[in-house]
Structure 1
Amino acid sequence: MTQEATGVPMRLVIDDTARDPSSKIWYALPDSFVDVPIDALAPQPGSEQEVHLEQALALVIDVAPEDQRDRYTGALRDVRFMAKQMRNEGIIACSLGMHHADDGSSASSVFTVGLRDIGWAPAKVTAVRAAASRESSGNVGLLTLPGGRPASISDTLITMPALEGVPGQELYQCNLYVPDPSGTQLGVLTLSTTAVGSRKHYRELMEGIAYTVSFHDPLPEIERAARGDAADGIANDIASDFG
């Protein structure tokens, strides 16, 4: 149903995390995603944040059913380990998603964002190299983002080995590579899911996200447009970027 058919103006909901002054990259996600607090789950050893986390986890274990406490302890330990691994690999954000697949079933996904320091090169060359250098990548495509900025997208199927109590399975992974305007950093946005039958849906989802990626704070322009203070060109750009 279109905006014209309903007569209700479409609204963009801005999460509070978008106002973090330490942010280095901005992007928009559908409301089906929930943030995972990597920093809170992988604090610096000996820090006050680590003490608070240990206290919170102790409370969780304390209220767990007695016959399930070992299971809870193991699950929480695994979550902390994964958060630490993500931080070590340069991932700065992680979100969990739940979506409706093309066949009407529910499908979940994991979305991560990383920033890499790179040697300077023309942005289009960087985008092509990044997609082509990934092992087993396929369906490589080039995108032209708002402002004429280049980006690339690729996807692949990965066979995950069987683990204790978990059978092996295929994983669909889609990657976006967006060079920043300075040419010295590369944004890597990755979506992974076991719903391999819905890969067309996820590829289209990632292409839509790509057009919202920015390395400068877009909120001032968005808010001016929302107040009607911006020129039509800015408002149209925002509509194009964010839908």
Structure 2
Amino acid sequence: MFADLPQVDPALFARPDLAKLHAPLRAAHPPRILLLYGSLRPRSFSRLVSYEAQRLLQALGAETRVFDPADLPLPDGAPESHPKVQELRELAAWSEGMVWTSPERHGAMTGIMKAQIDWIPLALGAVRPTQGKTLAVMQVSGGSQSFNAVNQMRVLGRWMRMIAIPNQSSVAKAFLEFDDNDRMRPSAYYDRIVDVMEELMKFTLMTRDVADYLVDRYSERRESAEALSKRVNQRSI
């Protein structure tokens, strides 16, 4: 098997095991979903879409938290001990999935959205707050439909080692989609948000108990083995 793979360590290389994708014990608690939005406007449509998503997720059986980005400092503009930074990081660690909703501004996600993601590190010691967690991305725009922001957030989600679900939502002319009570009117846009939240729940339920196995990597196993070997050799000297 390894004759043609001379650079592979056979002790660390293994075929994917279907049995390990079936968790012996399934978590009984509701899926924990964190929602982030990317605007501070008094009537923020990304926030209103997030609230609609939150209602749907709760109806689908999730436990949810919505992070308010007001008073979150710019990345590197304050120490990591800042209360809003700590709040965001604690919520990221708590979550098993996320929903990111941003307005599209100048053909991209907003700086407010990016700042929140930038404050969530790839690793906090031995803990990786985002790795293996599910992600749904949505955007709102003031003009015609676009997908620039959701495409950017997908790139970020992959960089954060998250499982970005296939479906997504883009709400065009969002100012026309909400009534005077800030509730979304019936439309194909609303139906798509229902689709996205339903899919997020399914993917979260399917992956959360086996997330560690899904993101277990040969290169990282090799690094860990080499580090352990080095520590053993140092102690024996």
Q: TM-score normalised to the size of structure 1?
A: 0.30
Q: TM-score normalised to the size of structure 2?
A: 0.31
Structure with the bigger percentage of strand: 1
If asked which structure has higher relative contact order (CA below 8 Å, sep 6+), I would say 2
